[in-house]
Structure 1
């Protein structure tokens, strides 16, 4: 996505039904707009200093609070001490266990359904394998080759200096996906079980942008954010699949 695109102005223009994917709308201004039924998904909305103004009201804190209400345990994702991180990961495991059970009870093939061009349930689990390998395996543990072939990278991303061909182009069985996902979940569980205060402050290298400093704690926060955001996506899509089958 280019960062040097000139700002454009749309006046008395209908964008009804338009779909924007991976588009930078930061700083966009909308005046006298009809947004009835508009749906927006912005996982990075709540960064430091971010705001989303609707009729002059910053709604970002309300969105965050509502998501915490809908997903018990999500509020723990910003824990900054070992005990808090252990509780935060236990909450992630509990949430995913319930959602995995729900998916298993749905009609065969549900885990491979793509809703609106998004990743399927199985692909989401594969992406979380890749995210764990990136932020725990590569950034924290500094494993030279941390990636499991079944991990699902974003097509447009390239890890700094890394050969992306390690990832398979074949479609694994769901049983294979569940097995490697369970292994990566256990990796995080084991790491946070033994982490201490001193380890949390150790400097780490950002795998995507080495110029940005990280710590063990910030890498764990990224893992937690990835887990909760993709869990939200998965629940959203299971809801859509269930609704379509009624």
Structure 2
């Protein structure tokens, strides 16, 4: 039923319900049994989540920072801190790759609950780097590598993303391209200046929105930490 243009559930059994890419902002739950409730909200740090009158976002953020040392620098503003932030996330991903390679053959191509596999996640991070560094910051005429994996197909600046390779590349190929993109970020940060960080750029996908170079770097680093969490979660599910 609806009430004031909102859907209201009363005495309903939603056990096992799954909400993917859904907007639940502002939802109110009262007198609910949430035992075993599993919430994954990538943008949680930008808002609030109140449980029994307590905003748990600071608690969640503190725990994630404890689990992922260096994550707390994902919004660093100083060039030196940004370099440290990137070194931390690179190191964390190196450990994750080592773990994945030590697992049974085929592990990197396993999809858990319809999510991207480990290899696909690395391909998406190639795409994210191309979009926010190659395209938005460096304004390269053809920034995208064919191996990159996006959520949807785009056609931007005359470059048709639908021409991207559809055959699954080998994991070694994925790692090679991934390493190239990591080096591209590292090299950019090696010489970045405070003046460059505040320069304006059209957003990668919405050119009508003007953002700073620093914002673009924050998107890249944020994507790295978010997808590392997803990747490790799915490796854990495989034992």
The TM-score bracket by the shorter chain reads: over 0.9
Q: Which secondary structure state, in structure 1, belongs to the residue aligned with residue 183 of structure 2?
A: helix
**1:83 alignment counterpart:** 80
* TM-score normalised by the chain length of structure 1: 0.92
| Unaligned stretches of 5+ residues in structure 1 | 1-5
Residue 28 (str. 1) matches residue 27 (str. 2): yes
The equivalent position to 1:221 in structure 2, one of 214, 218, 222, is 218
The answer (yes or no) to whether the contact 2:123–2:174 under 8 Å persists in 1 is: yes
- Partners in 2 of 1:160 and 1:205 — Cα distance? 13
| Cα distance, 1:159–1:41 mapped onto 2, change above 3 Å | farther
CA RMSD of aligned residues (A): 1.2
Q: CA deviation at 1:96?
A: 0.5
The answer (yes or no) to whether the contact 2:154–2:162 under 8 Å persists in 1 is: no
C-alpha distance after superposition, 1:146-192 (max 9, x if no partner): 0000000002x636555221321111111111110010000000000
The equivalent position to 1:158 in structure 2, one of 140, 154, 163, is 154
- Partners in 2 of 1:38 and 1:140 — Cα distance? 40
Residue 173 (str. 1) matches residue 170 (str. 2): yes
- Partners in 2 of 1:160 and 1:209 — Cα distance? 10
Q: Which secondary structure state, in structure 2, belongs to the residue aligned with residue 217 of structure 1?
A: helix
* Match runs of 1:1-246 below 5 Å: 6-47=5-46, 50-155=47-152, 158=154, 160=156, 163-242=160-239
Q: CA deviation at 1:45?
A: 1.0
How many residues are matched?
234
- Partners in 1 of 2:24 and 2:126 — Cα distance? 29
| Unaligned stretches of 5+ residues in structure 2 | none
- Partners in 1 of 2:44 and 2:141 — Cα distance? 33
- Partners in 1 of 2:171 and 2:65 — Cα distance? 29
Runs of 4+ more than 3 Å apart:
157-162
The answer (yes or no) to whether the contact 1:204–1:216 under 8 Å persists in 2 is: yes
C-alpha distance after superposition, 1:186-213 (max 9, x if no partner): 0000000010111000001112222322
